[in-house]
Amino acid sequence: MELNRFLEKMSSDTPTPGGGSASALAGALSASLVAMVAGLSMKKDKTKRKEMEGIREKGLSIQKRLLQATDEDSKSFDAVIKAFRLPRNSEKERLHRVKEIQKAYQRATLIPQVVCQRSLQLLEYSKTLIIKGNPNAISDAGVAAFLADAACAGGLLNIKINLAAVTEKKIVKKMNILMRNWGRKKNQLTKAVHKKLIETYPG
């Protein structure tokens, strides 16, 4: 979907695309900046070419995946809405509806997980670029980090919201542990990025 169309649809009164898709888009923008800064750094310092080339390739790969996720997240939430609209005229239909709602909510946590995991990778790459990349593009690497932080935070929030409707305790317990770990890692990386940016541009 073209960006203008995507934003137009997001600002409409329909539930999708929503926050999950916005989080994925923020991650895709972060990945684009990571790829750009790595490319500029390859040109600036030939001794770091191999490392920067690797980061650029990863950035482009993540960009592609998160662009796909903007649509996939909308589809997963549409599936939740569809499950709620299933008939419930008989006991059999009611049980089927409950089962489908549960399956839809569990699936709705999957794309935000992808967004969160990829965004953590982008935070790592952004941090590396701030330290080792082209000094003239540090601000771009910083913006990449902040976008990745926002994308991960959005992913965590969307997992939490959908998980609240999941009744299977094992899944909930496992996801809560993962979310705590991801949230902790996100905060550590973002703090490290802030520290490096302040050291580079004090005052």
Tell me whether residue 23 is in a domain. yes
Phi, psi (deg, nearest 5) at residue 14: -95, 150
User: pLDDT at position 203, please?
Assistant: 60
Tell whether 203 is covered by a domain. Answer: no
- Would residue 145 count as lying in a domain? yes
3-state secondary structure the chain: CCHHHHHHHHCCCCCCCCHHHHHHHHHHHHHHHHHHHHHHHHHHCHHHHHHHHHHHHHHHHHHHHHHHHHHHHHHHHHHHHHHHCCCCCCHHHHHHHHHHHHHHHHHHCHHHHHHHHHHHHHHHHHHHHHHHCCHHHHHHHHHHHHHHHHHHHHHHHHHHHHHCCCCCHHHHHHHHHHHHHHHHHHHHHHHHHHHHHHHHCCC
Would you say residue 78 lies in a domain?
Answer: yes
pLDDT at site 200 = 85
C-alpha closest to that of 105 among 161, 144, 169, 153: 161
Q: Residue 149: what residue type? A: D
pLDDT of 1 reads: 61
108 found inside a domain: yes
| Domain that residue 194 falls in | 18-198
List the structure tokens of 28: 């895709």
Total number of domains constituting the chain: 1
Is 10 inside a domain boundary?
Answer: no
Instruction: Give the pLDDT of the chain (203 residues) as one tens digit per residue.
Output: 688 888 898 899 888 888 999 999 999 999 999 999 999 998 877 788 999 999 999 999 999 999 999 999 999 999 999 999 999 999 999 999 999 999 999 999 999 999 999 999 999 999 999 999 999 999 999 999 999 999 999 999 999 999 999 999 999 999 999 999 999 999 999 999 999 999 987 76
Buried b (16+ CB within 10 A) or exposed e, 18-57: ebbbbbbbbbbbbbbbbbbbbbbbbeeeeebeebbeebbe
What's the CATH number where 26 sits?
Answer: 1.20.120.680
Residue 6 lies in a domain: no
The reply to whether 43 falls in a domain is yes
- 């982008």: which residue's tokens? 122
